[in-house]
């Protein structure tokens, strides 16, 4: 998937009220199926990564500490730079 595909799908949804309504009542798998049906190469993982990036900044420090607690203790690469695609 490319960022362009995901952005194009969201742009299409923004201009189509019926698609927007379907998307708002869909889980990630349903949203990915909608995207593919509309001709976009979008996967469940793409949507989840997008949602995570879009909402992480909204978490408080206390909430982020809880997320950190969920991480495995033996995760040596948690700090590794992941380039934006």
Name the pTM for this structure: 0.62
- Model confidence at 37: pLDDT above 70: yes
| Residue 18 covered by a domain | yes
Q: Which of 67, 48, 71, 69 minimizes the C-alpha distance to 59?
A: 67
d(CA 29, CA 70): 23
Residue 77 domain-assigned (yes or no) = no
Least confident of 1-10, 30-39, 40-49, 74-83: 74-83
Total tally of structural domains belonging to the chain: 1
Task: Assess if residue 8 is contained within a domain.
Answer: yes
Per-residue pLDDT of 47-74, as tens digits, reads 888 887 777 777 778 877 777 777 666 6
- Note down the domain range covering 23: 3-70
């Amino acid at each position: 998937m490319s960022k362009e595909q995901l952005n194009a799908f969201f742009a299409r949804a923004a201009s189509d009220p019926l698609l927007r309504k379907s998307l708002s009542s869909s889980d990630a798998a349903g949203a990915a199926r909608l995207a593919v049906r509309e001709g976009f190469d979008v996967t469940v993982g793409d949507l989840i990564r997008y949602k995570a990036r879009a909402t992480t900044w909204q978490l408080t420090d206390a909430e982020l500490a809880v997320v950190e607690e969920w991480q495995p203790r033996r995760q040596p690469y948690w700090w590794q730079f992941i380039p934006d695609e």
